[in-house]
A = this chain, B = another copy of it.
């Protein structure tokens, strides 16, 4: 097994200020490195030997367990609770700590939450889903009945349409990456295609919409176009292999790939087939986009193409000049991610990053690129393009187009300022 000799100096610089070619570390590619290339990270000790066994090797370890939990040393890696309604505990949001995570799967314990009146406790043996309205025969499904239907599994992101709403503000919030961008998570969802249940009930050909209603105390309800219901909508029963978590709609939720998270109604109790949208409180008083001219956009379903660098990011600190890997996530409610570029000079020059397989439609995509930081202050940015050719706008472009009155669908290029002391800050740049 021979190692090809190559130093970073031989690697082409695709953009300014230290970004390296995305293939630099690939197996058999330009990335096979000379011994010592990263040396500053490890301690070199010519006499290093196994030495005495650490204390943990001298006593039997902890027992097997029925259901595991994270290490106690990771106890600070939690969701961030942000309550929107003073005096309540279950009306608000909790955010995924993106800067502490890697890959594309969000562990279910850290999936973001957004509830309008808390998490109901639902006995799956008692729960019923009613399909009624403009159908040949109204149907009532128990969870046991739903579990008999054919299922599909898909890895999809879910993003609250209010994610990054703080970025509409006039000053950049001094928050962690997860606090500004952590109303997005990604899971493997398994459930029954809604089209099978609608076919079973027999949809009136004049029906163009459905109403979906949750069994929470907010009776969360949204209208969904029939085309989406018949396309890729799922009634999700499983999340990351096991039954849904309570805060994600146990025992059954609607799941609409790529659409604003609020429409994937949790604790689903009712689907009414209709000819028009129902204009519920949740889609009129909320989840409409107030524009600069005072008009509001309704029914703006797909989440737009978006990305964010999660390492480094606010909440983490750089530890001196040298080689780093920039890592981040990109996603689009329009399909797959085609490309993510990164700039290490505030947007003057851009380098294409490596996308980690699998790159899936309506899923988070992990991107990575190597960066030799010279220790000088600078601004990092990422810019995603989806397979529909849509590109993230700058914040200025986004605000010029949409105004600053809305709180939904913010998806502009995110800038992180790296200070010479290694601190990473949210900036408008």
> A250 an interface residue at 8 Å Cβ cutoff?
yes
> A295 an interface residue at 8 Å Cβ cutoff?
no
Check if A35 sits within 8 Å of B137, measured CB to CB: yes
Determine the residue in chain B with the shortest Cβ distance to A138: B48
A35 proximity list for chain B (CB < 8 A): 136-137, 199-202
> A360 an interface residue at 8 Å Cβ cutoff?
yes
Q: How far is the CB of A223 from chain B (nearest CB, A)?
A: 15
Check if B42 sits within 8 Å of A200, measured CB to CB: yes
Query: How many chain A residues touch the partner (CB < 8 A)?
Result: 157
Most B C-beta atoms less than 10 A away, residue of A37, A44, A125, A202: A44
Q: CB < 8 Å: which of B93, B109, B151 contacts A102?
A: B151
Q: How far is the CB of A22 from chain B (nearest CB, A)?
A: 11
Most B C-beta atoms less than 10 A away, residue of A101, A240, A357, A360: A240
Residues of A75-127 contacting chain B, CB below 8 A: 77-79, 81, 83, 88-94, 100-111, 113, 115, 117-127
A400 proximity list for chain B (CB < 8 A): none
Convert A192-205 into 0s and 1s, putting 1 for each residue whose CB lies closer than 8 angstroms to a CB of B.
01011111111101
Check if B38 sits within 8 Å of A200, measured CB to CB: yes
**How far, in angstroms, from A62 to B122 measured CA to CA in the complex?**
11
Q: How far is the CB of A90 from chain B (nearest CB, A)?
A: 5
Determine the residue in chain B with the shortest Cβ distance to A324: B148
Copies in the complex: 2
> A215 an interface residue at 8 Å Cβ cutoff?
yes
A251 proximity list for chain B (CB < 8 A): 71, 73
Check if B44 sits within 8 Å of A215, measured CB to CB: no
Determine the residue in chain B with the shortest Cβ distance to A248: B68
Check if B41 sits within 8 Å of A217, measured CB to CB: no
> A383 an interface residue at 8 Å Cβ cutoff?
no
Check if B240 sits within 8 Å of A240, measured CB to CB: yes
A41-B149, A238-B102 as given contacts; A67 in contact with B78, CB under 8 Å: yes
A59 proximity list for chain B (CB < 8 A): 217
Of A224-232, A283-291, A301-309, A386-394, the segment with at least 4 beta carbons within 8 Å of chain B is A224-232
Of A25-33, A172-180, A253-261, A408-416, the segment with at least 4 beta carbons within 8 Å of chain B is A25-33
Check if A148 sits within 8 Å of B71, measured CB to CB: no
> A169 an interface residue at 8 Å Cβ cutoff?
no
Check if A62 sits within 8 Å of B118, measured CB to CB: yes
Check if A64 sits within 8 Å of B37, measured CB to CB: no
Check if B68 sits within 8 Å of A108, measured CB to CB: yes
> A181 an interface residue at 8 Å Cβ cutoff?
no
Q: CB < 8 Å: which of B45, B74, B117 contacts A243?
A: B74
Of A50-58, A343-351, A421-429, the segment with at least 4 beta carbons within 8 Å of chain B is A50-58
Q: How far is the CB of A66 from chain B (nearest CB, A)?
A: 4
A65 proximity list for chain B (CB < 8 A): 79, 94, 113, 247
Residues of A138-165 contacting chain B, CB below 8 A: 138-141, 144-146, 148-155
Q: CB < 8 Å: which of B36, B126, B154, B370 contacts A150?
A: B370
> A294 an interface residue at 8 Å Cβ cutoff?
no
> A170 an interface residue at 8 Å Cβ cutoff?
no
Q: How far is the CB of A99 from chain B (nearest CB, A)?
A: 12
A37 proximity list for chain B (CB < 8 A): 199-200
Determine the residue in chain B with the shortest Cβ distance to A33: B199
Can you list 21 A-B pairs, Cβ within 8 angstroms, ordered by A? A3-B199, A32-B195, A33-B196, A36-B137, A42-B141, A45-B139, A46-B137, A46-B138, A49-B130, A50-B269, A56-B215, A60-B117, A61-B216, A68-B109, A68-B113, A70-B243, A71-B250, A101-B238, A102-B241, A103-B189, A148-B319
Q: Please give 4 more A-B residue pairs, beta carbons under 8 A apart, in addition to A43-B139, A56-B122.
A: A1-B207, A61-B120, A62-B118, A107-B242
Q: Considering the complex of A and B, which 4 residue pairs feature the smallest CB-CB distances, nearest first?
A: A61-B118, A35-B202, A63-B89, A56-B120
